[in-house]
Structure 1
Amino acid sequence: MDTRADSDAHVEDNRRYWDERVPIHVASPFYDLPGFRAGDEDFDPFQLEEIGDVDGLELAHLQCHIGLDTLAWARRGARVTGLDFSARAIEAATGLAEEIGLADRARFVAADALDAAQALGRHRFDLVYTGAGALMWLPDINLWAAAVAALLRPGGRLYLAEFHPLTGVLDDDHGATAVADYFARTARTYRSPGSYADWNAETVHDTATEWHHTLGDVISALAGAGLRIEFVHEHDTIPFQRYGALVTDGGRFRYPDGAAGLPLMYSLSATAPH
């Protein structure tokens, strides 16, 4: 188990890691900023169905990176606040909001998600949103749940769409064999040059640390923070080819027909008491 000092050092390494990759992501076809400026968005269909109409809602997006999903919600009528621990990501998101004419509906704040309530001035929101690939960067899932609860108005809702924690312990080729301990809570530190958006990019800050949170950990943390779990849905598609055996499915990837399917993502909704 990490000490607090260990976790703080890992988070600082992660911040440097992400700061360096912001300009890579802004320039990469993976994020396709020209397409986004033209009106494209990349939500999973289940997210749009499960969240529903956001017009007029105050929405906080934790770990928003360069703000594409945040601003997509603003285009759909929400008043949005994006938060990320990378100041360079927040600069990029703020610039993009101004460029596409949404600066009056969107603000971006540089802060750690675990400090979100303080960073956002104890403001309360109708909806807190967190997208895929976020929770693994947090050392303490209970502090995250408490931060979410502190951000919600009475009756407000958390919506989380995340990679299923099972995907972190399966083999890369077929995604059918467990090669790691699902219940291990120790931090995993590794070196990863380049970026998933451009593996050939030259980078210096290549050390990153992830924390594994089981599905039970996430649900229990939110319940412990006083939120009521409305649903947990497991999904058989994922936005990228996580394993070599996955096949395309309308812009997403899934296990091929006839293969033993496993959950690739999950979504969760939880509400604050009135």
Structure 2
Amino acid sequence: MGLLIVDPLVRKGEQPPWIVPDDLWERIEPLLPKVERRHRHPGRKRLDDRKALCGILFVLYTAIPWEFLPQELGFGSGMTCWRRLRDWHQAGVWEQLHQLLLAELHAAGKLDWSKAVIDSSHIRALKGGPKTGPSPVDRGKTGSKHHVIADGNGIPLVVSLTGGNRNDVTQLMPLLNGIPRVRGRRGRPRQRPKTLYADRGYDHDKYRRMVWAKGVKPLIARRGTPHGSGLGTHRWVIEQTIALLHWFRRLRIRWEIRDDMHEAFMTLATAIICWRRLVR
């Protein structure tokens, strides 16, 4: 008897989002490390990389436990997909894919370098692990933070993971410095936005001077000032970006004890968001 999967992510007549389209696969396949099969004692035939990626995306979209990945889908076992995600993340595949898609977005004129926006979001970490901490906004429960910096159109440029007790301002410079050199047009690659918008959590004169030193104008809300500064008309895009990131159910709660595996999901989701902006 076949497996019927009913999911609100899939509209009637549409292809499930975990099925990798041909044009996206054409960009991913050259980035994957090549694994030569042994001539002596080759063992079981290796699962096709594209099917393994579909299994990874199925987990990312649905948040199903690895061990419950349905075999009827033909994506291999959950452990096989977990290993591929680990190995590809260690090989830098998702970072390369993200930079490739940013270059294509830049070439298409879809990146807004006039401004960048930064913010963070707290998530529960039910199993603990590295880069977790007591949350000051969730009664001290163990959690992590997703830190994101996006361009003026809400396209994610950098994402990072820290403990839930880390102050947002401590990640300001690491995120700003982490913006990759984006190619795609003639001339020097772009890396710096003209202005940086942030909320009151980043209010510190020391960091304002550091941002200025990078050649970026900081527009950061001041603590103690009344609402209505007008900065919200620019900062709303980062809320949209974080909402898109958490549209992937596996990122709403941190289930991974290993921080690198959660970061692998984060970077892959970031690349998919860029891909959607490119094709739509």
Alignment TM-score > 0.5, same fold: no
Bigger Rg over Cα: 2
TM-score scaled by length of structure 1: 0.28
TM-score scaled by length of structure 2: 0.28
Which structure carries more helix by proportion?
Answer: 2
Which structure carries more strand by proportion?
Answer: 1
